[in-house]
Amino acid sequence: MPVYEGATIDEAIKHGLDVLGLTKDEVEINILGEGKKGFLGIGKKNAQVSIEPTVSEEISEAVEEVVTETVVREKIAEVDLSDTLTELDNEEALKQLAVYLTEVTKEMGVPALVKVDRGDNGLMILNLETDKQGMLIGKHGKILNALQYLAQVFVHRVAKNKLSVVVNVGNYRQKREEVLVRLAKRTAEKVKETGRPVFLEPMPAFERKMIHSALSYDEYIKTHSEGEEPYRYLVVEPAKKYF
């Protein structure tokens, strides 16, 4: 959790927002310490706050950095594998992926520490730790999704076994899941009201699965994916037997 300091709470917040390139409306701020003036400079303590990007109801957040997104897109076409980077076991494949993502974020000008955690159902989560979260997320999560696609391409090429990985920054994915569930419910209601299909924005496969799952119990709705990766999108449409 990134922590930002300043002589006052307002200065600490301003410092954090400047680093992230975000506004107050785009973040969640927690005050960790109000700071102390001290006496003649003795015992002085800076105010401390933690700041994390949030995801709005419209799935819009952070800033869009064309340069960083371009770097990621170029990297997708440049995945350079030597003979030693093939048929790797799971642990080694994840290690090489972490090294690769570290190099990519450096080239983007947003160096990040990559930590690997195990999620549910064997899903591997690569958390990118940086004090410039907004620049690794991008507007509408575009940059993070590009990194997600890059990571999946890389690990599919080097791993002996099929591995599913998710690239995350801060708690973006958790909040994104909450937004997607709400989006799924609103979309389902719209489809049932109009009797017409709704085409959602392109999403990574695991996000499409979240919406599939959220709507799987609604007998009046059916979903399917169309398009090619990384621009594959979800279609939510009425079940014909009810319309």
Q: What is the pLDDT of residues 155-183, one digit of tens each?
A: 988 898 988 899 999 888 888 888 899 89
- Beta-sheet pairing, 233-238 with 124-129: unpaired
Domain 66-170: which topology?
A: GMP Synthetase; Chain A, domain 3 (3.30.300)
Closest Cα partner for 61 from 206, 178, 196, 219?
178
Residue partners of 93: CB distance under 8 A and separation at least 6? 155, 158, 159, 160, 163
Q: What percent of the chain has pLDDT over 90?
A: 26
In residues, how long is the chain? Answer: 243
Would you say residue 82 has pLDDT above 60? no
Give the Cα separation of 60 and 155 in Å (integer): 29
Give the Cα separation of 210 and 158 in Å (integer): 27
Give the Cα separation of 27 and 17 in Å (integer): 8
- The per-residue pLDDT for range 18-73, each reduced to its tens digit, is 766 677 777 778 888 777 665 555 667 888 888 877 654 333 333 344 445 566 66
Q: How confident is the model at residue 76 (pLDDT cuts 50, 70, 90)?
A: low
174-242 carries CATH number 3.30.70.1400: no
Q: What percent of the chain has pLDDT over 70?
A: 80
Where do the structural domains in the chain lie, given as residue ranges? 3-53, 66-170, 174-242
- Global pTM reads 0.62
Average pLDDT over residues 92-98: 93
Looking at mean pLDDT, say which of 68-72, 131-135, 140-144 comes out highest: 131-135
